[in-house]
Amino acid sequence: MNTKTLTFVAEQISKATQNSFEIQTTKSISGGDINRAFLFQSKNARYFVKFNRAELVEMFAAEFAALTEIVQTKTVKVPAPITYGQTEHESFIVLEFVELKRASSQSERLLGEQLAKLHLQKQPFFGWQINNTIGSTPQPNLRSENWLDFWREQRLDFQLKLAAQKGYGSQLQSLGKKLSERLEDFFTDYTPQPSLLHGDLWGGNAAATPENQPIIFDPASYYGDRETDLAMTELFGGFGRDFFAAYNDIWQLDAGYKTRKNLYNLYHILNHVNLFGGGYASQAKNMMQQLLAL
């Protein structure tokens, strides 16, 4: 980062907080995922700042909007969004700096309760106000009144189309087409309601504060079936029995979730196919074959 960029970001922080912020130190830290992350520190304040290419400013705009909306629900803690913007060569987002520690059984239980309360707040439609990203992949969020249409067109079929463009054709596409045509079979006795979702809730996007309060971050939010958030918590592990028990105490999951969670996690595996390739294509095929066999 050059001096001009540092000065501009400091000015934007000052404007957003209405408190003068002068950078004393910057430190490269982990936690940026696909971005470069830094701790910006002054005499009296610290901020977590992520940078990426200038043309990706809309990605940070969407993250800012998601964090703002979750904060407004007063249900589960996220890093408070401060500001975002763009310089000639870079885009950035500034967040509250939070010390993180490993979740405990107590913080996991509280997270289960708080996530259920977040999901319980009714939303007006499926989709969201703006498109965003899942990792670095575009994620369309066009408004829909029908969950199956939304999931088919903007999640499953969208990822399959990207996979075809990357050369993953043949069996992956034929299985995907069959599954897309059969989505109604998984919702015969279940009607999802639109909930505000984190959208990318794997173990690496949740932790606890030093006060043992749960915190989630790096959202890919939209309004959708709450089961998609729960499904992803099981995809890569990292959430214990206390989390699921506490969630169910607030809002019991439907019995069909045990099947639908694999349908919902297929979206993330297909996204991994498009991001990383490798064995994820075989995993996606296996998941589709298992779902079609039901």
Token pair for 35 = 């971005």
Catalytic residue among 33, 185, 189, 200: 200
Rounded distance between C-alpha atoms, residue 271 and residue 273, angstroms: 5
Torsion angle of alpha carbons 137, 289, 157, 62, nearest 10°? Answer: -30
Give dist(CA 49, CA 15) in Å, integer.
16
- Hey, what are 90's tokens? 């870079």
Q: How far is CA 282 from CA 265, 270, 285, 291, in A?
A: 14, 10, 5, 14
Residues 26 and 9 sit within 8 Å (Cβ to Cβ): no
Give the CA diameter of the chain: 62
Q: Which residue has the tokens 């369309």?
A: 140
User: Does residue 200 carry a catalytic annotation?
Assistant: yes
Catalytic residues: 200
